Amino acid sequence: MYFDSLQQLIWMNGHGIYVWSSFAISAVIMIGLVVKPLRQKQAAMRNIELQIKLQASKQAAKQKEVADAPHS
Partner 1 sequence: MNFNLQWTWFHRLGSPRWFYQQTQRWLPWLAVATLALLVTGLVWGLAIAPPDAKQGNSFRIIYLHVPASVVALAGYYIMAISGAVGLIWRIKLSFMLMRSAAPIGAALTFIALVTGAIWGKPTWGTYWVWDARITSMLILLFLYFGVIALRHTYSNNEAADKAGAVLSLVGMVNVPIIYKSVDWWQTLHQPATIKFTGAPSMHPDMFAPLVVMIIGFYSFYSLALILFARAEILRREYRASWVKQLVSNQPAEK
Point out which residues bind partner 1 (CB under 8 A).
1-3, 9, 12-16, 18-19, 21-23, 25-26, 29-30, 32-34, 36-38, 40-42, 44-45, 47-49, 51-52
Rounded to a whole number of angstroms, the minimum distance from the CB of residue 38 to partner 1 is 6
> Distance of CA 25 to CAs 19, 28, 35, 69, 70, Å?
10, 5, 15, 65, 69
- Residue 16 has what DSSP assignment? H
When the beta carbons of 18 and 65 are compared against partner 1, the nearer one is 18
Q: Using the 8-state DSSP alphabet, how is residue 15 labeled?
A: T
CB of residue 54 to partner 1, shortest distance in Å: 12
